Every structure is written in C-alpha cells, then in structure tokens.
C-alpha cells in the first residue's frame, strides 16, 4: 500500500514538473511587438494589417449612369446604389 502511494505521488510530481516547459512555448501564429518593429518587413506587415482593418465607407455607385444619378433610395432593391447623402454633392 505504501509503495503504491509513493508511485502515485512520484507520477503526480513528474506530471507537474513536465508542464513548465509546455506553458512557456511561444505561439507560432502571433508575432511579438519587439519582433514586429525590429525589421522593415515587420513594419510593412503592421501597416498592411492596420490598413486592412481601417474602417472605410463603401460608396457603391453605378459607373455607367454617372455618379450622382440614382433612380431610387439606395437599398438592396435598386441594385445597391448609394444615396447621394453619402457625399458632399447632395
């Protein structure tokens, strides 16, 4: 009985000791700030990510009919054309 308890405690201690290296592995899908800004390629990647996430207006217009000529309200029912209120031309 005592020998079995010693084995169980030894296995439990080995499991706890083996987790230390597992928890300190750096993620492979993310880049740290110190690595990102250290090289020109990293800065370029950062700027591309910022530009990709930049909120932009989606000014949809139909180029064949001119920019500010809209037959309807600008909803999905009329082809998704934008309202003239989205610009300074209104």
88 — phi, psi (to 5°)?
Answer: -85, 0
Give the per-residue pLDDT at 8. 92
The confidence band for 90, taking pLDDT boundaries of 50, 70 and 90, is very low
- Kindly tell me if the per-residue pLDDT of 10 is higher than 50: yes
- Kindly tell me if the per-residue pLDDT of 27 is higher than 80: no
- Rounded mean pLDDT, 59-63: 54
- Please choose, from the candidates 79, 75, 82, 77, the residue with its C-alpha nearest in 3D space to the C-alpha of residue 59: 82
């Amino acid at each position: 009985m005592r020998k079995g308890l010693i084995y169980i405690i030894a296995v439990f201690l080995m499991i706890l000791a083996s987790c230390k290296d597992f928890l300190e592995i750096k993620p492979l899908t993310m880049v740290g700030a110190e690595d990102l800004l250290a090289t020109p390629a990293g800065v370029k990647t950062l700027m591309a990510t910022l530009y990709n996430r930049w909120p932009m207006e989606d000014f949809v217009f139909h180029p064949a009919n001119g920019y500010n000529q809209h037959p309807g309200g600008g909803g999905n029912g009329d082809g998704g054309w934008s309202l003239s209120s989205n610009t300074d031309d209104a």
